[in-house]
Amino acid sequence: MSLLDNGSSEVINPDTYFQTHKPPRTLIENEIRVKEFVNKHNEARRKIVLITSGGTTVPLENSTVRFIDNFSAGTRGATSAEYPLIILLFDSFQVQFSLQPYSRHYSHSKNCFLDFMELKSDGSIGVSSKYSPKMKAVLEKYQEFKKNETLLFLDFVTVSDYLFLLQSVTKIMSVLKEHAMYYLAAAVSDFFIPAQKMPQHKIQSGGGGLTLTMDQVPKFLKPMVMYWAPRGFTVSFKLETDPALLVDKSRHALTRYGHQIVIANLLDTRKREVILITRDSEFQIKLTEDEIAEGKEIEAKIIPELVKRHDEWIRNADNADL
């Protein structure tokens, strides 16, 4: 007998999902913030990249005590958001905080924050001289983005928050047409328990084990690419643990959803090797041993490649309009 039986799960279409689930309480205020941000940059004809980052949780109770989480630390999204682009980041805000751009260099460090400090001879407190060159460089970049207001930060916790936010944000960003890039790096749950099937209160123990039946999360990429943001440049990530499945599953996603790029990565090697897959090409991006030793991050190669391809996408659309 198999421990897992995922053949009988119900498939809900995205419209039904949105009709039968409550939007997050902060959705309207977030939509207002996003509209302001998008309109400001759209007036200046700037490109905007939506980065989704971190993992979504799946609650087991409506008044949630327990939930299912996943491994994502949000490194991919937070690292990608440090490049000089106009960015709308939505990031998971789990119990184990997901990493955020700039502060990520320190927040999950094994050092206590006090280890980064030192007492100066005049009695004042400052950054330890050992860490200050790197911290200065990060601080300069951080202050630059704050001054220019080039990053808008929104957060989600559950897969439901994520889906509602994604629908709203991509619809608002669709005014940018080809100037929008959607970079979907969040690790989105594949299975969930619909609100109407969840108990209201904490599941009680004492009656033996617990058996869960979960439905499949609706395939939101299809309506996103077809209706919410049809002219944008969409890049999704495909995560697998079995190398034999990776490329086929990524190709399948491209044909099924009709978007532009799938970045295929394996759990174990995701920080040093990915494959950019389009309908007619495969392009490997890899860090060399020397680059890994220097501390180079793979996003330093992924982002410029995507910016180049997005610019081509915009040029092709401009030529088609002529």
Q: Of 42 and 56, which CB lies nearer to ligand 9Z3 in the complex structure?
A: 56
Q: Which stretch binds ligand 9Z3 (CB under 6 A): 39-47, 70-78, 126-134, 311-319?
A: 70-78
- Residue 253: CB minimum distance to ligand 9Z3, A: 7
Query: Pick from 66, 91, 321: which is nearest to 183 by CA?
Result: 91
Among 187, 217, 224, 276, binds ligand 9Z3 (CB under 6 A): 187
Shortest approach of ligand 9Z3 to residue 246 CB, angstroms? 10
Query: Which CB, 59 or 74, lies closer to ligand 9Z3?
Result: 74
- Minimal distance in Å, beta carbon 68 to ligand 9Z3? 14
Closer residue to ligand 9Z3 (CB): 42 or 85: 85
**Using CB under 6 A, which residues numbered 254 to 273 contact ligand 9Z3?**
265, 270
Q: How far is the CB of 63 from ligand 9Z3 (least distance, A)?
A: 27
105 interacts with ligand 9Z3 by CB under 6 A? no
- The answer to whether residue 50 forms part of the interface with ligand 9Z3 (CB under 6 A) is no
158 binds ligand 9Z3 (CB under 6 A): no
Q: Which two tokens mark 278?
A: 């389009």
Tell me the sheet residues that pair with 11. 216
Looking only at residues 217 through 236 of this chain, which bind ligand 9Z3 when binding is defined by CB under 6 A? 236
Q: Which two tokens stand for residue 305?
A: 């490649």
SS (H, E, C) the chain: CCCCCCCCCCECCHHHHHHHCCCCCCHHHHHHHHHHHHHHHHHCCCCEEEEEECECEEECCCCCCCEECCCCCCHHHHHHCCCCCCEEEEEECCCCCCCCCCCHHHHCCCCCHHHHEEECCCCCEEECCCCHHHHHHHHHHHHHHHHHCCEEEEEECEHHHHHHHHHHHHHHHHHHHHHEEEEECCECCCEECCHHHCCCCCCCCCCCCCCCCCEECCCCHHHHHHHHCCCCEEEEEEEECCHHHHHHHHHHHHHHHCCCEEEEEECCCCCCEEEEEECCEEEEEECCHHHHHHCCCCHHHHHHHHHHHHHHHHHHHHHHHC
Candidates 73-81, 145-153, 196-204, 313-321: pick the segment binding ligand 9Z3 (CB under 6 A).
73-81
Which of 36/268 has CB closer to ligand 9Z3?
A: 268
Q: Hunting for tokens 């099924």 — which residue is that?
A: 256
The answer to whether residues 261 and 277 touch, using CB atoms and an 8 Å cutoff, is yes
Binding mask 293-322 for ligand 9Z3 (x = CB under 6 A): ------------------------------
CA 242/CA 152 separation, integer angstroms = 35
Position among 21, 41, 47, 76 found at the interface with ligand 9Z3 (CB under 6 A): 76
The residue with tokens 């960003």 is 173
Which one of residues 57, 72, 167, 168 is an interface residue with ligand 9Z3 (CB under 6 A)? Answer: 72
Q: Say whether residue 160 binds ligand 9Z3 (CB under 6 A).
A: no
Return the residue of 12, 48, 58, 185 that touches ligand 9Z3, per CB under 6 A.
185
188 binds ligand 9Z3 (CB under 6 A): yes
Cβ distance to ligand 9Z3 smaller for residue 151 or 264: 264
Minimum distance, C-beta of residue 56 to ligand 9Z3, in the bound complex (Å): 9
Q: Which residue's CB is nearer to ligand 9Z3, number 85 or number 253?
A: 253
Q: Which residue reads 């790197």 in tokens?
A: 134
Q: Which residues of the shown chain bind ligand 9Z3 in the complex (CB under 6 A)?
A: 72-76, 184-185, 187-188, 236-239, 265, 270
